[in-house]
């Protein structure tokens, strides 16, 4: 297996036939986003980590049912989210997740991007509070689309809702955010 690195399709093929190393390589690239999907549901870091790992084990066993013509990331994320929902249900508590800003917001001394110069920390906090305050079905779509950076199709597949619902709910959620942030000045809002 020297030479060119295996691409995702190769890894999927190998993982489908039970190759543990291939499966690990396959999920390696999706670890961060998978953990975030779980975190958005359970709201606890350790729990999210456990859930993600449990979901990966389930995904490994379900690989034989993965269809080669579908895309892997949303398939995996759906399993992760499902496992997270199961965990939240088993635990019984239905705490509402509040996302927080990192204390060291900009990573490793990088030069601030153009956006960071127009959005201040205070505004960022206000926006995050507005997101946290959205009704679940709107918040889910917004967090998956914009905070996790999933496409509409991936969001739909992960949340198990139709793409049309993702579109309409995104539009309504953005409308609500606009409304609740209408008092916010600056931030390039008058572009």
Partner 1 sequence: MSSPIEQALVELARHIDWPEPSDQASLSRRLEGSPRSRTKHRWIPVTALILVLVASLLLFSPTAREAVADLLGVAGIEIRFDPDPAEVVGGELDLGEAVTLEEAAEGVDFELSVPGNLGPPDGIFLSDRPSSGRVTMVWESAEALPASGDTGVGVAYSQFALELGEEADFVKSVMPDTSVRAVEVDTAIGLWIEGAPHLISYEDATGNRVEEETRLAGNVLMWESDGVTHRLETTVGLGPTLALADSLQPVD
Q: Does 112 bind partner 1 (CB under 8 A)?
A: no
Is the Cβ–Cβ distance between 67 and 38 less than 8 Å? Answer: no
Q: Does 127 bind partner 1 (CB under 8 A)?
A: yes
- The span from the CA of 82 to the CA of 150, in Å, is 17
In terms of CB distance, is 2 or 191 closer to partner 1?
191
Phi, psi of 7 (to 5 degrees): -85, 175
Q: Does 135 bind partner 1 (CB under 8 A)?
A: yes
The residues in 80-109 that bind partner 1, with binding defined as CB under 8 A, are 82, 85-86, 88-90, 99-103, 105-107
Q: Does 131 bind partner 1 (CB under 8 A)?
A: yes
Nearest residue to 141 via CA among 130, 133, 152: 152
In terms of CB distance, is 12 or 159 closer to partner 1?
159
Q: Does 168 bind partner 1 (CB under 8 A)?
A: yes
- Which one among 119, 133, 151, 152 touches partner 1, defined by CB under 8 A? 119
CB atoms within 10 A of CB 172: 15
Residue 60 in tokens: 């490994």
Site string for partner 1, 32-71 (x = CB under 8 A): x--xx--x-----x--xx--xx--xxx-xxx-xx------
Q: Does 159 bind partner 1 (CB under 8 A)?
A: yes
In terms of CB distance, is 4 or 65 closer to partner 1?
65
- The span from the CA of 5 to the CA of 42, in Å, is 35
Nearest residue to 126 via CA among 184, 173, 187: 184
Q: Does 132 bind partner 1 (CB under 8 A)?
A: no
- The span from the CA of 140 to the CA of 131, in Å, is 9
């Amino acid at each position: 297996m020297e030479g060119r690195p295996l691409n995702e399709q190769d890894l999927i093929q190998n993982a489908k036939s039970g190759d543990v190393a291939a499966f690990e390589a396959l999920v390696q690239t999706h670890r961060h986003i998978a953990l975030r999907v779980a975190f958005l549901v359970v709201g606890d870091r350790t729990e999210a980590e456990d859930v993600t790992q449990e979901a990966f084990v389930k995904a490994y066993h379900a690989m034989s049912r993965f269809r080669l013509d579908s895309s892997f990331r949303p398939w995996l994320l759906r399993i992760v989210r499902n496992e997270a929902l199961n965990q939240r249900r088993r635990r019984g508590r239905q705490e509402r997740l509040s996302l927080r800003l990192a204390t060291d917001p900009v990573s490793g001394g990088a030069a601030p991007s153009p956006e960071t110069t127009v959005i201040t920390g205070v505004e960022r906090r206000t926006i995050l509070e507005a997101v946290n305050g959205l009704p679940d079905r709107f918040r889910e779509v917004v967090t998956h689309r914009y905070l996790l950076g999933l496409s509409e199709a991936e969001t739909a597949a992960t949340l198990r809702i139709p793409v049309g619902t993702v579109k309409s709910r995104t539009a309504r959620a953005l409308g609500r955010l606009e409304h609740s942030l209408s008092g916010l000045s600056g931030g390039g809002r008058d572009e």
